[in-house]
Amino acid sequence: MAPMKLTYFEFAALGEPLRLALAQSGVEWIDNRVPSEQWPTLKPTLPYQQMPVLEVDGAVIPQSLAILRYVGKIGNLYPTDPIQAAFADSATDAVSDIQGYMRGIIFEKDADKKAQLRKDLVETLLPTWLANLEKALKLAGGEYFAGDKLSIGDIAVVARLNWLTDGTFEGVPSTLLDESPLVSSLVQRVMAEPRIVAYMEERPKK
Ligand SMILES: N[C@@H](CCC(=O)N[C@@H](CS)C(=O)NCC(=O)O)C(=O)O
């Protein structure tokens, strides 16, 4: 079987959870990062005319969450127990909620509205979101969102938090996780996984 190929833009957004999950899964994969100038040519060839897509043995899988679950299933990162799988999905879906809001900020053209949306994100939405994640983790035993094992739900949350705190998303303080000890330890635990450490060292620094 040829290595899987993940095709996405060069930035984190919807691609980074998939890259972390692929890295953690241990499968062979190609990190195909498309420069924005090549996008207009590629766009009409893709199933939903959007990225990410994952190519597996000639099949082109669209939609980031479908890809994430697929990688979870083949990479032992998606619980076989339906209830635990639902908890992994809940964490992933909670990430989609905040992603929708962040997308609104990124695409807002009016500078005043953008600043207000950013303020609401940092002062209201993120603290509430983090408090809810903290509760979900506590309920699940404190370490992971789906029982006692790393899943795609943890990876989705951690990838989003990395993006929020690495300085690329303007206005989010580096102290974001100070009031969320369980979430904060989850980030450290996931980012210390040896395969993820290796991916972080090798990935393009851009
Ligand atoms: N629901 C889709 C959304 C994909 C999406 O919005 N992709 C964006 C990048 S984050 C894209 O391809 N934008 C370029 C375009 O639509 O032309 C998913 O989760 O994969």
pLDDT in tens, the chain (206 residues): 899 999 999 999 999 999 999 999 999 999 999 999 999 999 999 999 999 999 999 999 999 999 999 999 999 999 999 999 999 999 999 999 999 999 999 999 999 999 999 999 999 999 999 999 999 999 999 999 999 999 999 999 999 999 999 888 888 998 999 999 999 999 999 999 999 999 999 999 86
Those residues whose C-beta lies under 8 Å from the C-beta of residue 47, and which sit 6 or more positions away, are 53, 60, 62
Whether residues 58 and 109 share a domain: the answer is: no
- Domain enclosing residue 119, as ranges: 82-191
14 lines ligand 1 (CB under 6 A): yes
Task: Give how many domains the chain has, as a whole number.
Answer: 2
Structure tokens given for 112:
């005043």
What's 103's domain CATH number? 1.20.1050.10
The helix (H) or strand (E) run that includes residue 7 is strand 4-9
Whether residues 28 and 125 share a domain: the answer is: no
What's 24's domain CATH number? 3.40.30.10
Q: Which atom of ligand 1 is nearest to the CA of 50?
A: 12
Residue 147 phi, psi dihedral angles, 5° rounding: 70, -145
Whether residues 71 and 150 share a domain: the answer is: no
Whether residues 89 and 187 share a domain: the answer is: yes
Whether residues 102 and 140 share a domain: the answer is: yes
Whether residues 69 and 87 share a domain: the answer is: no
What is the whole-number distance in angstroms between the Cα of residue 86 and the centre of ligand 1?
Answer: 24
Whether residues 170 and 126 share a domain: the answer is: yes
